Structure 1
Amino acid sequence: MNLADKVLAVNNDLPIRTHAPVHSGKVRSVYWLTAEDSARLIEEKGYEVPADTPLAIMVISDRISAFDCVWHGEGGIQGVPGKGAALNAISNHWFKLFKEHGLADSHILDIPHPFVWIVQKAKPVKIEAIARQYITGSMWRAYEKGEREFCGIEIADGLDRDQKLPELLITPSTKGILTGIDGVPAQDDVNITRKNIEDNFAAFNFASVADIALYEKLLKDGFSLISGELAKLDQIFVDTKFEFGYVKDKAGNDKLIYMDEVGTPDSSRIWDGEQYRQGNIVENSKEGFRQLLLSYFPDPDILLNKDRMDEREALARDNALPEEVLMQVSKTYVGIAEKITGETIVISDNPKAEIVEILSKDYGLID
């Protein structure tokens, strides 16, 4: 079978019954179910949510984005084989452990297929929180230029690149454009301080000031749990992105949960422990793909300079990456997923057909 056929690149054209437009992000597409189908599935499957909860089908893809662009390969390969299944498997693993350790639930109610989640509607907290254990990436670049304050937190002089920080650093930024907040520009992805959040907790969708401390606890406990588990595999959890939201429990009460994805090679940096001790950085995450792109193209400034976005989009559109590059990325994603979960990631011959069959036969959601 052609390798391109094994890649699920387009995931917003499935015949899932919905009355709303399909929302498609860089990697996932979301299909909001009808009120009738939501209520039916809640009853049939026994989901622990109120009977009138809106449900959605979330379908991951094998697309790969970096530097705010989606990349493709030779031979019509529109993504990375095995990437979607690997990402979902890793998130599923961590979400399950979080629940088992009494941290918090996630938005996922059911996993019909390796590419598919059934989720309940959540009210997202409008913060993207990066938890950093090491100084690297954009933080190192700013530090090297003399910056010492990050999101209102002072960092000591004398740190080296890729060094472990004295303590876990939480650097939140806005998720989406928020207006009318003093000292916070109306732009997406702007760094903010804890005081910004406290003074405007409702604007960030927190139910109370007290929930800010809960959010911070879930951040730190979640990071610590993943870090400890990865250490057993001699992998270093460098930094990661967390997102949170509110859902209703069965009694109709609000509860703060983890959402989006967690601890994946897309949302985190993961380094090989043995190589790090030898002074080398070997990435087991998307950062390796970013570095590869920076060395592949003759002018890396196009990828790093936000003022050259038109040129960057042209690079991604007009350059098909060699198949061996995408297969190397596949090896990274599948390899770290199998390490973390202890299970084999199967690359499906035709993921779209499998998804349609399962959602039709077992869930009655295909027209």
Structure 2
Amino acid sequence: MSLARQVLAVNDDLPIRTNTPVHSGKVRSVYWLTPEDSQRLIAQKGYDVAPDAPLAIMVISDRISAFDCIWHAEGDMQGVPGKGAALNAISNYWFRLFKSKGLADSHILDIPHPLVWIVQKARPVMVEAICRQYITGSMWRAYSKGERNFCGIQLPEGLAKDQALPELLITPSTKGILKGIPGVPEADDVNITRQDLEHNFKAFGFSAKSDIAAYETLLKQGFGVISDALKRNDQIFVDTKFEFGYVTDSNGQEKLIYMDEVGTPDSSRIWDAKAYGEGKIVENSKEGFRQFLLNHFPDPDILLNKDRMPEREALARDNALPLDALMDISRTYTGIAEKITGQPVALSDNPKAEIVQVLQDQFGLID
């Protein structure tokens, strides 16, 4: 069995019964179930959701996205072996830990396969909530050029690259292009302040102004839970992105929940604590792959400059990376997943066939 065949690169062509187009993102594809199938599963499985809640099958791929492009390698390697299963396993572990500690629920209702979630539809908060414990990455690049105000927070002079920040910072940005909000440019991923959120809470998708404080609490609690657990594995939780949304439970109660993935090497930076203590940065996240790309191509500005997006897309499309680059990140993903969960990440011999089988046998969702 070739390794390339064990990679799930295309995940939007499964014969899952749906009456709407499949939504395919950079890494996950979402199949919205028919109202009949959603209601049948809610009744059969006893999910704690409104009886008419729309449900979806979310299938994660092994594709690797960086700098808003999908990358591939020699030998027809269209993704990273074990990446999807590792990301799901890590998120599943943190979501369970959050629930056991009395934090919020997530959108996940069932996990029928290592690459699959059954989720309920949430009304998203249009904010990417970023928490930072160290100054690195884009924040350091801006700071080193003289910027001191980040999302309305004034940073002190004299900070050094990769050092711990005086406190955990929340630096939100827009999720998607939001229109008609005073002072907020109509572009994706624009930094915003807490004042922006308070003055326009409905435009950002919050039900009430008081929910801004609730979301900040969930951010800090979630960051703390993951950070403490990683510390026990000699890892540093550097920064991360959370996403939130609203759902209605079986009693008709609206609640704020965690969405998407949490605490993964895709959405976070994780450093090896022992190496950091020795003055070195060893990445246990996708940041290592980003750094590889910046070093691999002669003109890294193409990857960093949003105005050069057509060149960047051509770079990703026309260049098969060395196979070692994807195998290195495979070891990073599966290694950190095994550290966090205590379980090995198993590669599927035929992931599509396995997914189809389980969705038909246990859920009756295959046409």
TM-score range, shorter chain: over 0.9
One-letter code of the match for 2:204? Answer: F
Distance 1:185 1:307 in 2: 16
Deviation at 1:306, TM superposition (A): 1.4
Residue in 1 that maps onto 2:215: 215
Matches for 1:159-238 after TM superposition, within 5 Å:
159-238=159-238
Deviation at 1:178, TM superposition (A): 1.1
One-letter code of the match for 1:316? Answer: A
Distance 1:316 1:177 in 2: 24
Distance 1:68 1:179 in 2: 22
Residue in 2 that maps onto 1:287: 287
Q: Report SS of the residue matched to 1:58.
A: strand
Deviation at 1:254, TM superposition (A): 0.7
Residue in 2 that maps onto 1:41: 41
Distance 2:262 2:295 in 1: 28
Distance 2:328 2:186 in 1: 39
Distance 1:212 1:36 in 2: 35
Matches for 1:1-367 after TM superposition, within 5 Å:
1-367=1-367
Distance 2:141 2:77 in 1: 33
Q: How big is each residue's C-alpha offset from its partner over 1:257-282, in whole Å with a ceiling of 9 and x where there is no partner?
A: 00000000000000000000000000
Deviation at 1:314, TM superposition (A): 0.9
Distance 1:232 1:239 in 2: 17
Distance 1:295 1:199 in 2: 42
Q: How big is each residue's C-alpha offset from its partner over 1:67-99, in whole Å with a ceiling of 9 and x where there is no partner?
A: 110000111110000000000000000011111
Moved more, 274-283 or 298-307: 298-307
Deviation at 1:301, TM superposition (A): 1.3
Q: How big is each residue's C-alpha offset from its partner over 1:11-49, in whole Å with a ceiling of 9 and x where there is no partner?
A: 000000000000000000000000000011011111111
Q: Report SS of the residue matched to 1:285.
A: coil
Distance 1:194 1:130 in 2: 12
Distance 2:275 2:90 in 1: 22
Q: Report SS of the residue matched to 1:261.
A: coil
Deviation at 1:55, TM superposition (A): 0.2
One-letter code of the match for 1:199? Answer: H
Distance 2:160 2:178 in 1: 35
Deviation at 1:220, TM superposition (A): 0.3
One-letter code of the match for 1:290? Answer: R
Distance 1:176 1:252 in 2: 28
One-letter code of the match for 1:207? Answer: S
Deviation at 1:326, TM superposition (A): 0.9
Q: Report SS of the residue matched to 1:347.
A: coil
One-letter code of the match for 1:252? Answer: G
Q: RMSD between aligned alpha carbons?
A: 0.6
Distance 1:272 1:337 in 2: 14
Deviation at 1:307, TM superposition (A): 1.6
Distance 1:354 1:176 in 2: 34
With normalisation by structure 1, the TM-score equals 0.99
Aligned length: 367
Distance 2:301 2:183 in 1: 30
Q: Report SS of the residue matched to 2:290.
A: helix
Distance 2:324 2:202 in 1: 48
One-letter code of the match for 1:333? Answer: Y
Q: Report SS of the residue matched to 1:317.
A: helix
Deviation at 1:219, TM superposition (A): 0.2
Distance 1:345 1:195 in 2: 43
Gaps spanning 5+ residues in structure 2: where? Answer: none
Q: How big is each residue's C-alpha offset from its partner over 1:296-346, in whole Å with a ceiling of 9 and x where there is no partner?
A: 111111111112111111110011112221111100000000000000100
Gaps spanning 5+ residues in structure 1: where? Answer: none
Deviation at 1:179, TM superposition (A): 1.2
Distance 1:164 1:116 in 2: 36
Q: Report SS of the residue matched to 1:75.
A: coil
Distance 1:245 1:293 in 2: 33
Moved more, 307-316 or 159-168: 307-316
One-letter code of the match for 2:176? Answer: G
Distance 2:283 2:69 in 1: 20
Q: Report SS of the residue matched to 2:334.
A: helix
Distance 1:54 1:308 in 2: 39
Percent identical among aligned pairs is: 75
